Structure 1
Amino acid sequence: MNFAIVGPGAIGSLWASYLIQAGHHVCLWSRNSSPHISIQRDECPAIQFHNGHTEQLAQADVVLVTLKAPQVQHVLESIAPHIDKDAILLLMHNGMGTAKATQTLFPNNPLLLATTTHGAYRPSSTQVLHTGQGQTLIGAVNQKGTQCEFLVEVLNHALPQVHWQHQINQALWNKVAINCAINPLTALHQIRNGELAAVHYRSQLDSITTEVALVMQAEGIDADAQHLRKTVNDVIEATANNYSSMEQDIAHQRPSEIDFITGHLIKTARTHGIDVPVNEQLYHAIKQIEQSW
């Protein structure tokens, strides 16, 4: 198949490498103006990818969007004229809240959402490290998307494990819950994920997950505060040496995904009349840092 990877950061570069290795045609679309981009995964030989070619973008069967959530709408608006009306759009990023705008922009395209637990790190612009095995869950947003379950087999052949989710919102909310707990705290204190296991973060993490569980339940999503809290602990332990994406964004003075993680939680809570004071405090603390730049 023809794949276009829009936003080849760590996860996008990881998928580009595995997809081309599996025999697919892969082109990139990035802010890098070079017509070719080299990507080396771990110890594998470096691979040259075409970049920014509108004619290749137009031929894509699947457009895999691995941009950060705040960039999705702007970038997709700029490339919309070059995307075929039958191309499958697959959004894979932290947070929630980009699907509605994407569906408005591409009303006739199959639209899928994905979440992945694979670990990836880019030590340089031409190298990506696969730092942790995980799984990828995908599901449909619209009716045409429900006809694309075959994509699971295609993606699973390239980078397993991939599973179809009939209720993709459940998986996305579970990921948001984890991100609400880990990302703002690690960003504010500029610490690795594992340091959140310290006793003095316990009460704050309890409150964050309790608030998220209330919002999830109001949305009709299966959620239990204690189970969410245990999941957060498991992720803290499993990724103890990692820096969260938000920690890295704040450390490098880049806009974070706070509006699409904690911000999405707060917006959803308001529609149900639910107070989420601990999450609101963290949200405003991150926004204050960003605005100080």
Structure 2
Amino acid sequence: MKTGVIGGGALGLLWAGRLAGGGLDVTVITRTEAQAERLRNKGLVFTGLDGEESLVDVRAKAISADPAGDPFDVLLVTVKQRHLPGLIDRLSPMSHEQSALVFFQNGWGHDREIRRLGAKAHTFAAVTTEGALRTGPNRVHHTGSGQTWVGPFPHEGEGEPSWLDAWIERVSAIDPEVKIHREHDIRSRMWEKLVINCAINAPTAILEIPNGDLLHERHAPLLRAVVEEAVRVAEAIGVRLDANRMLEKVVNVCRNTSGNRSSMLQDLMRGEPTEIDWINGTVVRLGERMGMDTPVNRQLVDRIREKERHLKA
């Protein structure tokens, strides 16, 4: 069973390292030929939760390479949401009619891009709480154990490939720390992750602090306001969440990843655009559509965009 991992960032390298290290046939599909060549020649240096390094052999090729060859049975799409529009048309040559395409994007709104593949494509969304840090083009550090949920998205699962459960069972058997669950209500999981990202990513990126610093009591009113706005918008579009429970989840994530820098902060530190439009921007955009004001999330969006403008100056 051939697995392709599209994206050579932290999450892509994390999954590639874990799967290839467990004996699966894995190919990493990178944005640049330079990264692909390094992975082919040097291998993937994988640092586990215990701090131990291991060298994992992986196949690798650049996304621009000739897609000819055997298609993949499973494609894990781990690129950032802003890269999806330019990627979607490349996915069909990499897959066959029974392939499962699993999208790991953090935000909301990418259903429009996925629908371009057509209703016959077997597409899924994945929500994960795993933590990872890319420390080099062929190096990744697993920074936090978590769980992953996979469910049909945006179509509601008609004609799902029957062997997907077998693939999940095999992956789960590789390592007891790898926990993958089938989720039929993946939209709720995605919104839970979105609310958590709204509360953590933008504030840490604006303040330039690690996640754990948000636990200081002076940030409590901001966290609650962000969460309550996002939950109200979710409920307006039919996704029921509990604000108090979501706030507890935010606090737990901050506590469990206290030393981590959020992905949005890392983007700004690298001088790259953020995913603000698909995270807090989703709350603002859907709020407007539903006639709801979301001033706290709007302010966070404005401040992140200001930081992005300064990067370009």
**TM-score computed with the length of structure 1 as normaliser:** 0.93
Counterpart of 1:7?
A: 7
Instruction: Find out whether 1:144 has 2:159 as its counterpart.
Output: yes
- SS of the equivalent of 1:84 reads strand
CA shift in 2, pair 1:290/1:57, >3 Å: farther
Counterpart of 1:95?
A: 107
Percent identical across equivalent pairs? 30
Q: 1:270 offset after TM fit, Å? A: 2.2
- Measured in 2, the distance between the counterparts of 1:231 and 1:86 equals 36
Counterpart of 2:88?
A: 76
Render the CA deviation track for 1:202-225: whole Å, top value 9, x for unaligned: 111111111011112222222111
- SS of the equivalent of 1:201 reads helix
Greater shift in the superposed pair: 145-154 or 173-182? 145-154
Q: Which of 290, 303, 309 is the equivalent residue of 1:272? A: 290
- Measured in 1, the distance between the counterparts of 2:170 and 2:282 equals 31
Q: Counterparts in 2 of 1:165-180, with a 5 A limit?
A: 165-180=183-198
Instruction: Find out whether 1:40 has 2:45 as its counterpart.
Output: yes
- Measured in 1, the distance between the counterparts of 2:160 and 2:126 equals 12
CA RMSD of aligned residues (A): 1.9
CA shift in 2, pair 1:82/1:133, >3 Å: closer
Check whether the contact 1:192–1:241 (CA below 8 A) recurs between aligned residues.
yes
Counterpart of 2:171?
A: 155
Q: Counterparts in 2 of 1:221-260, with a 5 A limit?
A: 221-260=239-278
CA shift in 2, pair 1:220/1:96, >3 Å: same
Greater shift in the superposed pair: 143-152 or 218-227? 143-152
Counterpart of 2:50?
A: none
Q: Which runs of 5+ in 2 are unaligned?
A: 48-52
Query: Letter of the aligned partner of 1:283 in structure 2?
Result: V
Counterpart of 1:186?
A: 204
Counterpart of 2:306?
A: 288
CA shift in 2, pair 1:62/1:169, >3 Å: same
- Measured in 1, the distance between the counterparts of 2:160 and 2:8 equals 23
Q: How many residues align?
A: 293
Query: Letter of the aligned partner of 1:3 in structure 2?
Result: T
Q: Which of 50, 58, 62 is the equivalent residue of 2:60? A: 50
Query: Letter of the aligned partner of 2:173 in structure 1?
Result: H
- SS of the equivalent of 1:50 reads strand
- Measured in 2, the distance between the counterparts of 1:58 and 1:106 equals 21
Check whether the contact 2:100–2:161 (CA below 8 A) recurs between aligned residues.
no
**TM-score computed with the length of structure 2 as normaliser:** 0.87
Q: 1:65 offset after TM fit, Å? A: 0.3
- SS of the equivalent of 2:84 reads helix
- Measured in 2, the distance between the counterparts of 1:170 and 1:157 equals 27
Counterpart of 1:30?
A: 30
CA shift in 2, pair 1:57/1:237, >3 Å: farther
Q: 1:149 offset after TM fit, Å? A: 4.1
CA shift in 2, pair 1:46/1:21, >3 Å: closer
Q: 1:157 offset after TM fit, Å? A: 2.5
CA shift in 2, pair 1:31/1:57, >3 Å: farther
- Measured in 2, the distance between the counterparts of 1:284 and 1:57 equals 45
Check whether the contact 1:69–1:98 (CA below 8 A) recurs between aligned residues.
yes
Q: Which runs of 5+ in 1 are unaligned?
A: none
Check whether the contact 1:139–1:146 (CA below 8 A) recurs between aligned residues.
no
Greater shift in the superposed pair: 67-76 or 35-44? 35-44
- Measured in 2, the distance between the counterparts of 1:63 and 1:72 equals 14
